[in-house]
A and B are shown apart, each in its own frame.
Chain A
Amino acid sequence: MTTLTLSGSLKRRNALPGFGLSLGFTLFYLSAVVLLPLAALIIRPWTLGFDGFVAAVTEPRVLAALRLSFGAAAIAAVVNTVFGFLVAWALTRYRFPGHRFIDALVDLPFALPTSVAGIALCTLYARNGWVGSFIEPLGFKIAYTPVGVVVALIFIGLPFVVRTLQPVLAELGKEPEEAAATLGAGRLQTFRRVIFPTLLPALITGGALAFARGVGEYGSVIFIAGNLPMISEIAPLLIIIKLEQFDYAGAAAIGVVMLGTSFLILLALNALQVWISGRR
């Protein structure tokens, strides 16, 4: 309906043909592939009734899985915000041997299939792996524990922070720093009072993107996690387990809670960002 009224009012101003066709195809394709299937997800859990839905998502095993997925994603996002800033800073401000190689390598988690990352990380951090054989004698166990989940999510989330920060850092330039230095600010003071506040919105965006990806991540996590119910079992895996038991409504209920909670957290982070930008 909107399509018709819009194309009618636009024809006078825009001489290009194909609006109806391109928008119509776009809406049809998007509805068929994305929107209708997502609607199926949102409707399904309510076949349990409201009480049934609440019971399905407050089952101890489900709660533990949700807590792990959100908790590990939050920790990994914080780690990635710190180290992602470091990597982005070094890549935009300094030239050093291997600079270009490292810059290209940052995108590896985007390009490497998650199951490949998963078995590689698991082998690295297992007891006889390159990293595991170093740290297990020291009393740290990473593979097959919740810490392993965090490690996998750090791998998967890093590019989000780096790629969000890089353009902002490049655009920031040196002028504000020069001004601060002229006014007598020390290097650390300049960083704390000038650079950091300017970067904060981008840091939050990058961290939020890494977090959102981490909550839903499956492939890179399931190998290293060990998947012990109540301990190292992530929510996406529990969805698959429920599906295998033909508990479609239970699986959909977990999916709805994951999507809904991520959405609310991202909304809150977005509001925080607006508030910070507004204050400056």
Chain B
Amino acid sequence: MRARAATEDHPLTRWALVALTIAFVILFLLMPLIMVFSAALEQGASHALDTLSDPDTLSSIWLTAVVALIAVPLNTVFGVAAAWAVAKYDFRGKSVLTALIDLPFSVSPVIAGLIYVLIFGLQGWIGPWLRENDIKIIFALPGIILATMFVTVPFVARELIPLMTDQGRDEEEAAISLGASGWKTFFRITLPSIKWGLLYGVLLCNARAMGEFGAVSVVSGHIRGQTNTMPLHVEVLYNDYQFVAAFAVASVLALLALVTLTLKSFLEWRYADEIAAVHRR
């Protein structure tokens, strides 16, 4: 038997810690995940697929895609602009701005929905005016998009800020001094060097945008076939005791989460140097 290094744990400690870790992860992470698929397939795969072709379910899938297609690009443009300002220049109040960008992460999703009701709701700041002019924001698409934007604001920016700070501005300055325009410099120099980090941020932003529940729940009004996104439709079906249908929609969302995690792990492994979230580890 070889002697144990002084910094190595006793094999028994090691074994016990690994066993505890695996048990905890199985109980709290793996079992809920398996539960989703198993409950969806309880009466066979074809039944689960049938429930997905329900018109209300299809409309929830469509709405989720539309919301993400609007909110994610907007937040991506914001993230790039914010990272450009914060990473490439020095100015007073920079750390305050960075903290403010992260603020939505520490606000309850329900509060994220609430704030828009306080402004646009029937008894909100401009609610009466909106009503007179027949503009619907709360219990309609614009409110859902706004609430989704709020909760996903930080994702792209917080990935790009440290990445672009590390990269500095020498290359861009060289391009400018050689006569390139600002936009050309951005598209030919900056964008290629941040593309994997950008993709990483967009990936996480999209996962949250498609999966957001609390914030959207407050502003949606749960109108079937109209203002239910997929996560909301899961709740409606579940509360209707349509468990197979609820878990079938949940499975689609869980698959989306698994695809996201796989891509995320792949990006972290393949492009570790070009992703700030890994770089800092």
Decide: B35 and A113 in contact? CB cutoff 8 A: no
- Near B by CB (< 8 A), chain A positions 60-101 give 83, 86-87, 89-91, 93-94, 96, 98, 100
User: With A111-B207, A124-B35, A262-B106 given, is the CB distance from A119 to B250 under 8 Å?
Assistant: yes
Q: Is the CB of B176 within 8 A of A15?
A: yes
Which residue of A has the minimal Cβ distance to B97?
Answer: A26
* B residues whose Cβ falls under 8 Å from a Cβ of A: 6-7, 9-10, 13-14, 17-18, 20-22, 24-25, 27-33, 35-36, 39, 78, 81-82, 84-86, 88-93, 97, 100-101, 103-104, 106-111, 114-119, 121-125, 146, 149-150, 153, 169, 172-173, 176-177, 182, 185-186, 204, 207, 210-214, 217-218, 230-232, 234-235, 238, 243, 246-247, 250, 253-254, 257-258, 260-262, 264-265, 280-281
B-chain residues with CB within 8 Å of residue A21 when the two chains form the complex: 81
Closest 5 CB pairs between A and B?
Answer: A216-B108, A113-B211, A181-B6, A37-B115, A236-B110
> Quick one: which of B18, B90, B122, B210 has the most chain A CB within 10 A?
B18
| Interface flags, A208-235, vs B, CB<8A=1, else 0 | 0000100111110001000000000000
Count residues on chain A whose CB falls below 8 Å from chain B CBs: 95
Q: What are 27 A-B pairs at a CB distance below 8 A?
A: A2-B91, A15-B173, A16-B172, A16-B173, A18-B84, A21-B81, A22-B84, A30-B100, A30-B153, A34-B100, A36-B119, A86-B17, A90-B21, A105-B29, A105-B33, A112-B257, A114-B211, A123-B39, A170-B281, A182-B6, A219-B231, A243-B218, A246-B122, A248-B117, A248-B121, A251-B114, A262-B106
Q: Are B7 and A178 in contact (CB under 8 A)?
A: yes
**Cα(A112)–Cα(B207), bound, Å:** 8
Q: Are B24 and A87 in contact (CB under 8 A)?
A: yes
| Contact assessment for B212 and A113 in the assembled complex, using a CB-CB cutoff below 8 Å | yes
On whether the beta carbons of A216 and B109 are closer than 8 Å, the reply is: yes
Contact B169 A14 (CB under 8 A): yes
Q: Which residues in A have some Cβ–Cβ distance to B below 8 Å?
A: 2, 6, 10, 14-19, 21-23, 25-27, 29-30, 33-38, 40-41, 44, 83, 86-87, 89-91, 93-94, 96, 98, 100, 102, 104-121, 123-124, 129-131, 154-155, 158, 166-167, 170, 174, 177-178, 181-182, 187, 190, 212, 215-219, 223, 236-237, 239-240, 243, 246, 248, 251-252, 255, 258-259, 262, 266
B36 touching A116, Cβ below 8 Å: yes
User: What CA separation (Å) do A33 and B147 show in the bound complex?
Assistant: 9
Q: Report the Cα distance A237→B111, complex, angstroms.
A: 10
Q: Is the CB of A26 within 8 A of B78?
A: yes
Q: A94 vs B258: C-alpha distance in the bound complex, in angstroms?
A: 25
Which residues of B sit under 8 angstroms from A37, Cβ to Cβ? 115-116, 118-119, 150
Closest to A168 in B: B281
With A83-B20, A115-B250, A131-B27 given, can you name 13 additional A-B contacts, CB distance below 8 Å?
A: A14-B90, A40-B119, A41-B118, A106-B29, A108-B29, A111-B264, A113-B210, A116-B257, A123-B35, A177-B6, A236-B111, A251-B114, A252-B114
CB-based contact B253/A116 at 8 Å: yes
B67: min CB distance to chain A, Å? 13
B22 touches A98 (CB 8 A): yes
Contacts of B182 in A (CB 8 A): 16-18
Residues of chain A within 8 A (CB-CB) of B258 are 111
Q: Please determine whether B235 and A115 come into contact, CB atoms closer than 8 angstroms.
A: yes
Indicate if the CB atoms of A22 and B254 lie closer than 8 Å: no
Are the C-beta atoms of B281 and A166 separated by less than 8 Å? yes
A26 in contact with B82 given A124-B31, A216-B107 (CB within 8 Å): yes
Nearest CB of chain A from residue B205's CB, rounded to whole Å: 12
Contact of A259 among B24, B35, B107 (CB under 8 A): B107
A167 near B280 with CB under 8 A, answer yes
Which one of B30, B39, B186 lies within 8 Å of A105 (CB-CB)?
B30
- B281 contacts A216, C-beta separation under 8 Å: no
**A34→B31 contact, CB < 8 A:** no
Q: Are B27 and A107 in contact (CB under 8 A)?
A: no
**A33 in complex: contacting residue of B111, B149, B261, CB < 8 Å:** B149
A41 in contact with B27 (CB, 8 Å): no
